[in-house]
Amino acid sequence: MKPDLKIGIVGLGTVGAGLVRLLQTHGGKIESRAGRKINIVAVHAKNKAKNRGVDLSAYEWVDDPLSLAHRPDIDVVVELVGGDEGIAKQLVERALSSKKHVVTANKSLLSKHGMALARAAEEAGVDLRYEAAVAGGIPIIKSIREGFAGNDISVVYGILNGTCNYILTEMRETGRDFADVLKEAQEKGYAEADPTFDVDGIDAAHKLSILCALAFGAQIAFDAIDVSGIRTITSKDIQFADELGYRIKLVGIGKSNGGVIEQSLEPCLVPISSALGNVEGVFNAVCVEGDFIDRSMLEGRGAGAGPTASAVVADIIDIARGYSSPVLGVPAKDLKPNKPMPDKDIISEQYLHLVVRDQPGVIADVTAILRDHAISIESMLQRGRDPGQPVSVVIMTHDCSRADIRAAAAKIGALGSIVAKPTILRVLPL
């Protein structure tokens, strides 16, 4: 039996406490599977007195979290603080420079500094692992980096934020509006007090940037992602989508075509009959398309103490076994530049929801603008007609470019007969 693998944990919030609980509960099984015992040596968190529901008495409590990066009795530093600067960044950088393996759940850190950290880990000859950073309990990092390594991957897409998926599911099932359901999600602990990162798509975009780098052998390029959240989705949009045979999901989309990469995170219409359309509540799902696997989809809980701690332990076990691989699937020096796909080349059908004054000539003005932008109408719905009250009109288009639909929507929104900003949603033909 190999000597114990000694770890230090920084951050004892939901995930950190879950990690300790998992290691305490399944220590014997983990030792058998890893080929050596996983031994927690030291821990750190902001508040030592807080009751976390786990027994920490057997572990040394350190006041300086950065000290763990230099201790000779620690092999692996587990960073569960979060954030792309400050203690999290300093800890990971110092641990790698001290030739310590690092396990993190920090997608924000990786999306911003992943390239530099990957180079640092490879130069030091240690592992930087982050299964828990994307989709919680779904082993998508390992699947892309190892399971699908023999494929030329062309597409990766999926539902990457459970909070948004829960809100959209509840809106559909109850008929309530966004603000009401968001408040309930906060009360249940599914959404943060400040939900910006979730509902505005930033959290999911962090994850998408990592997936695209892994899938396409490209440099991480978070700033190149076109990001839209779900704040503007209304109960009427949900109802119209259902009538048309779709569900609205916040989807991260990555596509590679000849080295040019599309990265977008946006609410989309997906067919009710599709597998992705039936991923509900707080669940996540990721689909990968490759030349030899065709299409593969993994689904599971994307967050929470148990699923995320499980992903952290999987990384620790790989380190214990001596498994090693480049941080982003190929050596950092071999990652290709991430060339963004222009909006004019991103083609899809579109859903266009307009709220218009009920007066003659409105549709003629709208269709003229669509014609001038080479956008063809596939179908149109109009619901509600109370005299003098605004009317919802939904237009489904044939394939058109993102550049054209956005330019057309801007002109339509400037018409005096339009009483709200037009809603544009991409249609995914899954």
Residues with catalytic annotation? 207
What stretch of H or E contains 355? strand 347-356
Shortest CA distance to 213 belongs to which of 162, 140, 285, 267? Answer: 140
Angular region, 235: left φ>0, alpha ψ -120 to 50, beta rest: alpha
- The conformation of residue 218, written as its DSSP 8-state character, comes to B
Q: String of b and e for 305-320 (b: at least 16 CB within 10 Å)?
A: bbbbbbbbbbbbbbbb
In 15-142, DSSP assigns E strands to 38-44, 60-61, 76-79, 101-104, 128-129
Distances in whole angstroms, Cα of residue 101 to Cα of each of 111, 117, 118: 19, 12, 12
Rounded to whole angstroms, the Cα distance separating 221 from 210 reads 8
Q: What is the side-by-side order of every strand in the sheet holding 128-129?
A: 60-61, 38-44, 5-10, 76-79, 101-104, 128-129
**Residues facing 379 on adjacent strands:** 396
Shortest CA distance to 323 belongs to which of 107, 170, 142, 161? Answer: 142
